[in-house]
Every structure is written in C-alpha cells, then in structure tokens.
Amino acid sequence: MAPEAKAALFDQFAQVGKAFSNGRRAELVDVLAQGERAVEALAGQIGQSVANTSQHLQVLARAGLVTSRRDGNRVLYRLADEQVEALWETLRAVAAANVSGVRQAAEEYLGDRDGLEQVSRDELARRLGAGVLVWDVRPASEYEAGHVPGAISVPPDEVQRRLDDVPDGVEVVAYCRGRFCVYADDAVRALVAAGRRAVRLDEGFPEWRRAGLPVAVGTG
Amino acid sequence: MAPEAKAALFDQFAQVGKAFSNGRRAELVDVLAQGERAVEALAGQIGQSVANTSQHLQVLARAGLVTSRRDGNRVLYRLADEQVEALWETLRAVAAANVSGVRQAAEEYLGDRDGLEQVSRDELARRLGAGVLVWDVRPASEYEAGHVPGAISVPPDEVQRRLDDVPDGVEVVAYCRGRFCVYADDAVRALVAAGRRAVRLDEGFPEWRRAGLPVAVGTG
DNA sequence: CATCTAGTCAAGAACTCGGTTGAATACTTG
DNA sequence: CAAGTATTCAACCGAGTTCTTGACTAGATG
C-alpha cells in the first residue's frame, strides 16, 4: 500500500483540526452551538468584517462542520450535527486541562471566579420545579432558538435593568453559552452586588440540550 | 470587558486545533495513542526526517497534547492524558461523518471493506474465554506497551509467515491501532485467502483500553 | 577524553493563511 | 425593472507554516 495513501487519509482528518485552528473560527463554532445564525450576526459576534466571516464559514463548511441554507436574502449557518458540538466541548476541555495559556486568558476574560458559586446541570434540573428563578443570559435570538424550560430571557445588556424584577428571597440560577461564557458570571456578580442570592450553571445551554434534558423553544 | 480578552481566550483554544491541523501531527497522535515512543521511531512511522518530526512533536507539546521524558540518550514522547485520545477519536468520527474526502482517502488506503467482517469490542470481550485466537497486528513495541489479554503479537510484516500457525477450525480476531488502521484488514484478508475464518475488531487497542476492558502488558 | 547516537536548534525557500478592499451576485422590495 | 440588502468572490500583502539542510548539544560508550 502506497505511503501517500496513508498520508492523504490523515491529511483529511487534519482538515477538521484546521477548521478549529483559528480563534475566530472557534468563536463561530461556539456561537453556532447556540443555534442557527446569519452571516452578518455572526460577524458582529466575532468582531470581524462580513467578508472575512463569510470566508471563515466556508472553511468550516469545507471541513464539514457547518451547513447553510438560504432564507430570503439571508444565508443561515448551523453546525452539521451534535457530534461537532461534542468535539468542540472535548477540545475546550483538553485545552483547559493542558494548555497553560488558557488559565491566564480565561482569568483575563472572565475575571476571578473564586466568589462565584456554580451548580451542575443535574442540580439545576432537580431545582427546576422548586421555585428557582432561571435567567438565560444570552442574546434574545439564542434564547428563542432553545432554552431551559421556565427560564426567562435576560440578554446581557438588560441585566442591570432587570435586577429589581427578582422577588426578595428568590434565588437566581443564570446560564449562558458554556463554561467559558462571561454573561452568566456578570449577571451573578450584578445580582449578588444587588443583595440577591445568585449562582451560575457551570456549563451552558448546548451541554444541557445534548444531555437530553428538556428544552423549550420560542419566546415562551 | 475588552473584546481582545475574548479573542485571546479563543486563540488559546485554537492552539489545540492547530496541533491537529497537520496530517503528520495527526499521524503522530495516532501512533502515540498506542503508547510511548522515541523520536526516531516516530519519524519512521510518519515517513519524515527526525528533525521535522522533532519540530512537530514540539508543536504538540506546546499545545499540551504530549509530554516527554528522557531515557538514556533517547527522548520518549507520550500523550498527555486519555482526554487527548478521546479528542482524537471524536475528531476522526466527525471527519468520517462529515468530510467527503475521508471516504475516498479511506477507500484508497484501506481498500474495499465490503467482504471484511467486523466485531465490536463487547463481542470480542464475550468471546475471549471461548477459544478464539486473537492477533495483535501492530509493531511488537506497541504490543508490549499494552494488548488485549490472551492476544498474540503478529507484527504486520510477519502475517504471511504465521498463517499456518492457526489451528484448523479456529477463528481469528485481528485488531490494530483503530478503525482506520490497515494492518488488521490485511491480516484478515490474508487469513481468509489461506482458507481460515477471520474477522477484525472494528476499533483498535486504544479504544479497548479506554473502555476500561482488561489489558495485559509485556511480552506475555 | 574522543567518539557515537539521539535529539534539538537555526536559517532559508516554497507555500498557505488571515485579513483588507472593492467588485460581483442573489434575492427582496418598491 | 430599479434600488436596496445580504452574501460571496477575487486580488493582494504581510505573517505564519512546513520541510530541508547543516550545525549544535546531551548523554552513552570505548
């Protein structure tokens, strides 16, 4: 068997690695794990031009990680399947465990998490029926694409405004995109500073959905 | 929070993708999943110069995927932890499911698998006590680093010579490095051509070990 | 110590990547 | 159909990657 054939096969596997080899593409995957989105919205999320974002999306598409469909004059991208989410989750876990720079970069971005109480998704699932208030701290469109049943949408820029909506004595559980998502952290800190009791879900909504826990869709 | 801090965090995650973004590095990870190896041996496996292999290994080390230790005048590399194996397995699965080129490249390298019977690791585990003959079709050093209990070592280049060692009426189960490893395929084809009954384990030894199934070490 | 082996480092050539800009295309709306 | 919006394409340039070659270093051996 020709050695080039073996090399060619591993080059194909490397295509998937290549897709994740750029920080902006990783951000795109992270956002797309929340649900379908148009190019312009994605460009805004990753802070890049639309043209550049489009090109990154095409790299992801060539690696089979995303698919697209036209809706009117917009093109909506989504992750190809749940396995891609699983891959992204494992990759982050490996990076967190082994890449020394992650700890630094995470602290730089997320701030100090020492005073931040976290609960697991099983714990949240248990408490769901027991009078806990759940905040989905993601952009409204991500909430609408799917959220924890009973959670209310509190987009990041509305957190301050909604602090007083929390009845006295009620505990808030906040969640957002994942372990390394800052929105829930910020919300919990703001709530605690306002004298409320608040904790964050240690993971994000994609992990909740992939664990087979119940999901609600739409503005409800 | 500065947007550069977010970008920096995702750039760190992308380091891991970058490590897998080259076919030769992917091959290195695949070989290292079988166990510890020295640089020269690895260079031979991936068909590259020692200098180039050393540089690839350092990229993997910087991404936290491998660690090294000195043994006399050799340097032995190994995967950092089992999570890295899990990541490599998921990456291959995503590639197999979504990258169109994988199917082609795999067929080119592995040949037609239609006439090739495969058994799962649970099936093999069940049959272990029941008179099945198990062939470990990997280089001897990988067998010594860990193998399925009761399996005998039949390195790829010894398959032809060992065909007649199989008693009549005994079925052989062959395995090697993984789903995309060609050695077990070749052994099964050779055995069948010689009139024996033979099947291959659908996965490889690393998956067997990671599933928590029993493992034997050494020349036994 | 001189020599050997195994691995690493440094520099350079060919190529690929990641971003910008401006033009082209697809579909919708007036 | 003309005008507008959303996306893609093409060209370009600086920066990074991959492999080669040859020099260098750590430890083993005669």
Token couple for B81: 């932890």
The answer, yes or no, to whether residue B35 has pLDDT greater than 70, is: yes
A74-79 vs A66-71, strand pairing mode: antiparallel
Q: Mind telling me how many Å the CA of B26 is from chain A's nearest CA?
A: 6
Token couple for B25: 């590095």
- Is nucleic acid strand D under 7 Å from A48's C-beta? no
- In chain A, what are the helix, strand and coil shares in percent, each to the nearest 5? 55, 15, 30
Residues of B labelled as active-site residues: 176
The answer, yes or no, to whether residue B220 has pLDDT greater than 70, is: no
Interface residue A112 vs chain B (CB under 8 A): no
Give the span between the Cα atoms of B111 and B106, in whole angstroms.
Answer: 7
pLDDT for A82-129, tens place per residue?
A: 999 999 999 999 999 999 899 999 999 999 998 899 999 999 999 998
- Provide the CA B70 to C1' D27 distance, Å, integer: 10
Whether residues A71 and A112 share a domain: the answer is: no
* Structure confidence at residue B63 (pLDDT): 96
Q: What percent of chain B has pLDDT over 90?
A: 92
β-sheet bridge partners, residue A74: A71
pLDDT for B165-209, tens place per residue?
A: 999 889 999 999 999 999 999 999 999 999 999 999 999 999 999
Cβ contact, residue pair B109, A8, below 8 Å:
yes
Q: Residue A39: how many CA atoms within 13 Å on its side-chain side?
A: 19
Whether residues B132 and B189 share a domain: the answer is: yes
Whether residues A80 and A117 share a domain: the answer is: no
CATH (domain of B29): 1.10.10.10
Give the span between the Cα atoms of A218 and A142, in whole angstroms.
Answer: 10
Q: B10: closest CA among A26, A99, A181? A: A26
Whether residues B77 and B113 share a domain: the answer is: no
Interface residue A82 vs chain B (CB under 8 A): no
- CA distance from start to end of chain A: 59
- In a domain, residue B18? The reply is yes
| Amino acid identity for residue B52 in this structure | N
Whether residues B173 and B120 share a domain: the answer is: yes
Q: Which domain does B62 fall in, by range?
A: 3-84
pLDDT for B110-152, tens place per residue?
A: 999 988 999 999 999 999 988 899 999 999 999 999 999 999 9
CA B37 to chain centre: 13
Average pLDDT over residues B10-39: 98
Number of C-beta neighbours around residue B201 at 10 A: 26
E-state strands within B73-114: 74-79
Q: Which residues of B109-135 are buried (b: 16+ CB within 10 A; e: fewer)?
A: bbbeeeebebbebeebbeebeeebbbb
Give the span between the Cα atoms of B172 and B195, in whole angstroms.
Answer: 12
- In a domain, residue A46? The reply is yes
Query: What is the overall mean pLDDT for chain B?
Result: 95
Give the span between the Cα atoms of A206 and B210, in whole angstroms.
Answer: 25
pLDDT for B47-59, tens place per residue?
A: 999 999 999 999 9
- Provide the CA A63 to C1' C13 distance, Å, integer: 29
B133-136 vs B152-153, strand pairing mode: parallel
Interface residue A76 vs chain B (CB under 8 A): no
- In a domain, residue B94? The reply is no
Local confidence band at A2 (pLDDT 50, 70, 90 cut-offs): low
Q: Please report, to the nearest 10 degrees, the dihedral formed by the alpha carbons of residues A102, A107, A109, A112 taken in order.
A: 150
Last residue of a domain, one of B68, B84, B100: B84
Q: Which residues of chain B are within 8 Å of residue A180 when distances are taken between CB atoms?
A: 9
Interface residue A47 vs chain B (CB under 8 A): yes
Last residue of a domain, one of B49, B84, B119: B84
Chain C footprint bases within 7 A of protein beta carbons: 5-10, 17-23, 26-29
The answer, yes or no, to whether residue A1 has pLDDT greater than 70, is: no
What residues contact B114, with CB distance under 8 A and at least 6 apart?
A: none
Whether residues A36 and A112 share a domain: the answer is: no
- In a domain, residue A8? The reply is yes
Last residue of a domain, one of A41, A68, A84: A84
The answer, yes or no, to whether residue B1 has pLDDT greater than 70, is: no
Residue A8 zone, left/alpha/beta (φ > 0; ψ -120 to 50; rest): alpha
CA A98 to chain centre: 21
Chain D footprint bases within 7 A of protein beta carbons: 4-10, 17-23, 26-29
Total domain count, chain A: 2
Give the span between the Cα atoms of B22 and B2, in whole angstroms.
Answer: 32
* Structure confidence at residue B122 (pLDDT): 95
Out of B1, B14, B83, name the one closest to residue A20 (CB).
Answer: B14
Whether residues A183 and A113 share a domain: the answer is: yes
B37-38 vs A197-204, strand pairing mode: unpaired
- In a domain, residue A98? The reply is no
Give the span between the Cα atoms of B185 and B133, in whole angstroms.
Answer: 16
CATH (domain of A200): 3.40.250.10
Whether residues A150 and A196 share a domain: the answer is: yes
Cβ contact, residue pair B63, A99, below 8 Å:
yes
Whether residues B78 and B136 share a domain: the answer is: no
- Is nucleic acid strand D under 7 Å from A61's C-beta? no
- Provide the CA B85 to C1' C23 distance, Å, integer: 47
Cβ contact, residue pair A8, B108, below 8 Å:
yes
Average pLDDT over residues A166-189: 95
Q: What percent of chain B has pLDDT over 70?
A: 98
Q: B124: closest CA among B156, B148, B154? A: B148
- In a domain, residue B89? The reply is no
Query: What is the overall mean pLDDT for chain A?
Result: 95
Interface residue B180 vs chain A (CB under 8 A): yes
Token couple for A50: 């639309």
| Amino acid identity for residue A101 in this structure | G
Whether residues B144 and B73 share a domain: the answer is: no
Whether residues B126 and B196 share a domain: the answer is: yes
* Structure confidence at residue A220 (pLDDT): 65
Average pLDDT over residues A200-210: 97
- Provide the CA B38 to C1' C1 distance, Å, integer: 29
- In a domain, residue A102? The reply is no
Average pLDDT over residues B154-174: 94
- Provide the CA A39 to C1' C22 distance, Å, integer: 19
β-sheet bridge partners, residue A76: A38, A69
* Structure confidence at residue A32 (pLDDT): 98
E-state strands within chain B: 37-38, 66-71, 74-79, 118-119, 133-136, 152-153, 171-176, 197-204
ipTM given for this complex: 0.95
Ramachandran angles phi, psi of B129, nearest 5° = -80, 0
Tokens 């020269």 appear where? Answer: B40
Residue of B nearest to A5 (CA): B109
Q: Which residues of chain B are within 8 Å of residue A17 when distances are taken between CB atoms?
A: 17-22, 25-26, 91
- In a domain, residue B197? The reply is yes
Cβ contact, residue pair A86, B91, below 8 Å:
no
Tokens 């199917």 appear where? Answer: B103
The answer, yes or no, to whether residue B60 has pLDDT greater than 60, is: yes
Whether residues B118 and B206 share a domain: the answer is: yes
DSSP structural state of residue B5: H
